[in-house]
Structure 1
Amino acid sequence: MIVLRMLLGRVLSLVPLLLGVTLFVFVVMRFSPTDPALAAFDGANATDEQLDRFRRENGLLDPLPVQYVRFVWQLMQGDFGTSVITKQPVADIITTALPLTVQLTLMGLVIGIVVSVPLGVISAIFRDRWPDQVIRIVSLAGVAAPAFWIALLLVQWLAVGEGLFPTSGYVSINDSFTGWLNSMTLPAVSLALPVAAQLTRIIRTSMVEELDKDYVRTARGGGLPPVVVVGRNVLRNALVTPLTVLGLRLGYLLGGAVVIETMFALPGMGQNMIQAVNDGDSSKVQGFVITIAVGFVLVNLIVDILYLIANPRLRSHS
């Protein structure tokens, strides 16, 4: 019951947050220099009468509060509007593009976790010795390196130089699993390495704090093997703190996917959003931004739930 009550509180707190996101996106798009009417008629071939008629038919001349209420009401019905360029429903475009972005984000997350957990544990166990020093230097470099710079290096080395991976393009997993894996590996690794570097440092710090606690010294004094002490107790307790950071890192992965997809010509949310901005297609931009924002909020809700499950002390104090 305590967990359900806390979960209900988390869900209810999302309502004003999501409304704030929609209001922010609405205001930014309405006050941007982009005119949906000019974008719809490609500017040069439209008369003033055609532009005015388009604005009236699409409610662009209504008061801003009326437009916002209509905008939110349409979103609640799953209606993200229609692209003024392609005339397609934005929801259909999102449905096509979102799975690729989710694949890239999850693949980057898995790589980040697989790399960071063992490195963080090794760094903590060999504290202040040469493995720790090497891992700390490498992780610091990874934190400082942006994902797009890592992507350029990987393309130059593994794609252009060694020819192991394609430089760009996408192969659907339904067409060829090998082709899909080849097309997704470099983008996912580029996205994952900065996150892995940050998580490595956080896991290392959390592990060091746990290793210095009394129960660890008691367990070691009782003759328990170090592998059992670290694997059964220390690692489980030390991962609670990195778990709270993981939600923010997922937000970084979602945001970084915008740039990475464009660099590797992947037809996901990022590349579509950049194209929509270039075309002045405000409906698509709104739909993509809100979808990514809602995804970020939901991911953090899931992380909060996992944190409640992983930290029984928090439940007992609530």
Structure 2
Amino acid sequence: MSILRILGRRLASLVPLVLGIVLFVFAVMQFSATDPAIAVFADAPVTPDQLDQFREEHGLNDPFLVRYFGFLLLIAQGQLGRSLATGEQVTSMISTALPLTVQLTLLGLAIAVVVALVLGIISAIFRDRWPDQVIRFVSLLGVAAPSFWVALLLIQWFAIDRAIFPTGGYINPSDSVTGWLRTMALPAFSLGFPVAAQLTRIIRTSMVEELDRDYVRTARGGGLPPWVVVGRNVLRNALINPLNVLGLRVGYLLGGAVVIEQMFNLPGMGRLMIEGVKNNEPAIVQGAVLTIALGFVVVNLLVDVLSLLVNPKLRSQKA
């Protein structure tokens, strides 16, 4: 019941946060210097009267607050507006692009978690010895390396020089699982490697702190094998802090996916958002950014719930 009460409070606190996100995204697009009407017609011959008629038909001449509350009404109805150029529903465009971005983010997250767990545990167990020194050096490089730079190196090494993986494109897993893995391997690793480096350092620090506690010495003195002590007690307690950090890193993965998708020519939310910015399509950009922001909020909420389940002390303190 305490978890349900805490969850209820968190959900209630998300309402003003979501409204603030909507207002920020809407305001940024509405105050753009580019006229959406001119962007839609591009170089086509059009008269000023036709531009004014287009703005009037699509509510572009309405006051800011009128457009904002109209956008909120659309959201309440489960809609995000239409493309000015094609008239297609933004929700339909997002439903097509979002699955790929989710796939890329989850693969990057899986790579980051697995690599960080393995390297972080090894680094803590072999503290101050050569495995620890090597892992700390590699993780330091990973923290300093942005995902797009890692992507460039991987493309050069494994796509151009050796032709092991394709340089870009996307194959649906329903068509070929092997092809899907080949097209997603480099983007996912590019996205997950910097996060893995950060989590490795955090897991190592948490593991070292736990290994120095009295209960670990007592368990070892009682004759328990080291792998039992680490797997049953140390690891569970040491993962509480990395779990909290992981929720924030998911936001990095979602944001990084926008850039990585462009580099590997993946038809996800990144391409949709950038095309919306290039063509000054407010509805598309607002819908894409809002979807990613809400995803980040939901993931952090789930991480908070997991933290409460894993850590009884935190649950009692919040209650």
- TM-score greater than 0.5 by the shorter chain: yes
Partner of 1:92: 92
Distance 1:26 1:35 in 2: 15
Q: Which amino acid aligns with 2:238?
A: A
Shift of 1:44: 4.5
Q: Which amino acid aligns with 1:165?
A: F
Distance 2:35 2:43 in 1: 9
Shift of 1:273: 1.0
Distance 2:84 2:106 in 1: 31
Shift of 1:65: 1.3
Shift of 1:86: 2.4
Partner of 2:42: 42
**How do residues 108-187 of structure 1 correspond to structure 2 at under 5 angstroms?**
108-187=108-187
Q: Which amino acid aligns with 1:215?
A: Y
Shift of 1:156: 0.6
Segments of structure 1 that go 5 or more residues without pairing to the other structure are none
Report whether the alignment pairs 1:70 with 2:70. Answer: yes
Aligned residues: 318
Partner of 1:191: 191
Partner of 1:58: 58
Partner of 1:257: 257
- Where does structure 1 differ by over 6 angstroms across 4 or more consecutive aligned residues? none
Q: Report sequence identity in percent.
A: 66
Distance 1:16 1:234 in 2: 38
Distance 1:98 1:236 in 2: 33
Shift of 1:210: 0.6
Distance 1:306 1:272 in 2: 32
Give the TM-score normalised by structure 2: 0.98
Shift of 1:84: 1.4
**How do residues 217-296 of structure 1 correspond to structure 2 at under 5 angstroms?**
217-296=217-296
**How do residues 199-210 of structure 1 correspond to structure 2 at under 5 angstroms?**
199-210=199-210
The 3-state SS of whatever aligns with 1:100 is: helix
Distance 1:179 1:23 in 2: 41
Q: Which amino acid aligns with 1:46?
A: V
Distance 1:176 1:313 in 2: 47
Shift of 1:46: 2.2
Distance 2:299 2:204 in 1: 24
Q: Give yes or no for contact 2:143–2:197 (8 Å, CA) kept in 1.
A: yes
Shift of 1:255: 0.3
RMSD: 1.0
Shift of 1:5: 0.4
Distance 1:101 1:32 in 2: 26
The 3-state SS of whatever aligns with 1:108 is: helix
Q: Which amino acid aligns with 1:272?
A: L
Partner of 1:10: 10
Distance 2:5 2:229 in 1: 34
Distance 2:115 2:315 in 1: 30
Q: Give yes or no for contact 2:171–2:183 (8 Å, CA) kept in 1.
A: yes
The 3-state SS of whatever aligns with 2:163 is: coil
Give the TM-score normalised by structure 1: 0.98
The 3-state SS of whatever aligns with 2:250 is: helix
Distance 2:270 2:217 in 1: 49
Distance 2:225 2:271 in 1: 51
Q: Give yes or no for contact 2:169–2:264 (8 Å, CA) kept in 1.
A: yes
